A and B are shown apart, each in its own frame.
Chain A
């Protein structure tokens, strides 16, 4: 019995972790119907994340909503300014994707990076990153209150937590939103090729 239980748990843990894009909703607290995922419902096209009420403070100190770039294709990511390497890599990956866009698409696309760290990522700190990384006006870096950060991370499928030393452990995803704010495409590993983001950004750009 104990062996069966352990095997079931290991299978469950493995499946939910390694195949996380396909997990579903049918987990059960019993071992006879072990907590294995089932296919989730197909993605709907009307799922705009702009229904989330947020107050973002950007690098210029302006207060804007999550839908500040409504009507544009938007690359959204989450980061924090004092992050040693994953977040610089996130920015580099988005820059790389931007550089591969054709001129018409590049003029349309916007970037919104929201910080996990509302305490340290003040407008001044965010502005310093914009300067250091030579980010053009299409980029907006912003902070938000802690509870709103949690909501946004939940909507974007980003896992994170604050560590005792004030740093954050987090997954790095780049999410492409369509003009209405629905998730079109995501890149969950910033070391992977950005082609899918480039192709889809162009596809959104040519549709109205």
Chain B
């Protein structure tokens, strides 16, 4: 019930969102946001005792990942983000390379599939154009820790096995359409089982030591030492996401990395 109310409120606000440069694009239905949290995120690698539990304020999150349809509308409104114009430091050469043309999806790409092959900079620019932002890692993980029926599903063994089964399955030849997995407690879908997703602070992952210990910091921070510090050694999916994020650079694009946008909760109130 609360989720439904949030969707309606956010739709009302977000219908203005594309008009930043005089372009008035209809907000795709898929972009509707729901309220998530407040809650507590327990990082797998707290860098200090003070960070063992991170309080996450209530925030808004796209119910579904951003789709090809959403993103092609964006690059048509913002041609500087088309693949033949984007600066190389903002997106590598794989950027949107699966599309038929810089602003055309083509017959092999469904507009309801999650957009992939987008860089962090491009994802940020898209969310910014919607007057939204990328979710922080703590926000994304909080949302992703909910099972279908519980805000905190991490102790739900069956649910955890289900996620691991998704992670273990080969990539399908064609990416499924967004909305193909059930909504979680907050009403958010596809956080697991479809694509990896960018977070705003992807480049803060696995920093559990201070750079002052120069010389030894790589070993302490990234290698075997990290696994010893993990707070929840059974949480393989979380472990995998951290490993994946720490491998990313902001211009990277790949065939199964997409994103969704978030916003501050006060936008609902306003």
Which A residues are closer than 8 A to B by beta carbons? Answer: 1-2, 5-6, 9-10, 12-14, 16-18, 20, 23, 25-33, 35, 37, 40-41, 44, 46-49, 51-52, 83-86, 89, 150-151, 153-155, 157-161, 163-165, 169-172, 189-191
Contacts and interface: CB of A to CB of B under 8 A. Distances in A.
Interface of B: 47-48, 50-51, 87-90, 92-94, 120-121, 164, 166-171, 195-196, 200-201, 203-212, 214-215, 217-219, 221-224, 226-227, 236, 239-240, 242-244, 246-247, 249-250, 252-257
B250 A30 contact: no
A37 B247 contact: yes
Given A5-B168, A40-B252, 12 more contacts: A6-B236, A9-B236, A18-B223, A23-B247, A25-B92, A28-B255, A32-B168, A51-B87, A154-B120, A154-B203, A163-B48, A165-B50
A159 B254 contact: no
B72 to A, nearest CB: 22
Contacts of B236: 2, 5-6, 9
30 contacts: A5-B167, A12-B244, A13-B222, A13-B226, A13-B227, A13-B243, A14-B224, A16-B246, A17-B223, A18-B219, A25-B252, A25-B254, A27-B256, A29-B167, A29-B256, A31-B167, A31-B168, A32-B170, A47-B89, A154-B250, A155-B89, A160-B204, A161-B201, A161-B207, A164-B48, A164-B50, A169-B47, A169-B207, A189-B214, A190-B214
Contacts of B246: 13, 16-17
- Interface SS majority for chain B: loop
Contacts of B167: 5, 29-31
Nearest to A93: B214
Contacts of A153: 203
B253 to A, nearest CB: 6
B194 to A, nearest CB: 8
A2 B236 CA distance: 9
Nearest to B194: A29
Contacts of A33: 170-171
Contacts of A25: 92, 94, 252-254
Contacts of B249: 23, 154, 157
Contact of B218 (A160, A189, A190): A189
Contacts of B48: 163-164
B204 to A, nearest CB: 4
A51 B226 CA distance: 35
A170 B206 CA distance: 11
Nearest to B239: A9
A191 B218 CA distance: 12
Contact of A89 (B209, B214, B256): B214
Given A25-B253, A41-B92, A30 B168 contact: yes
Given A13-B243, A163-B51, A191-B214, A41 B93 contact: yes
Contacts of A32: 168, 170
A189 B219 CA distance: 12
Contacts of B257: 27
Nearest to A34: B240
B207 A27 contact: no
Contacts of B218: 17-18, 189
A1 B218 CA distance: 30
Contacts of A20: 222, 247
Nearest to B169: A30
Given A9-B236, A12-B240, A150 B195 contact: no
A163 B51 CA distance: 8
A17 B222 contact: yes
A33 to B, nearest CB: 7
A168 to B, nearest CB: 9
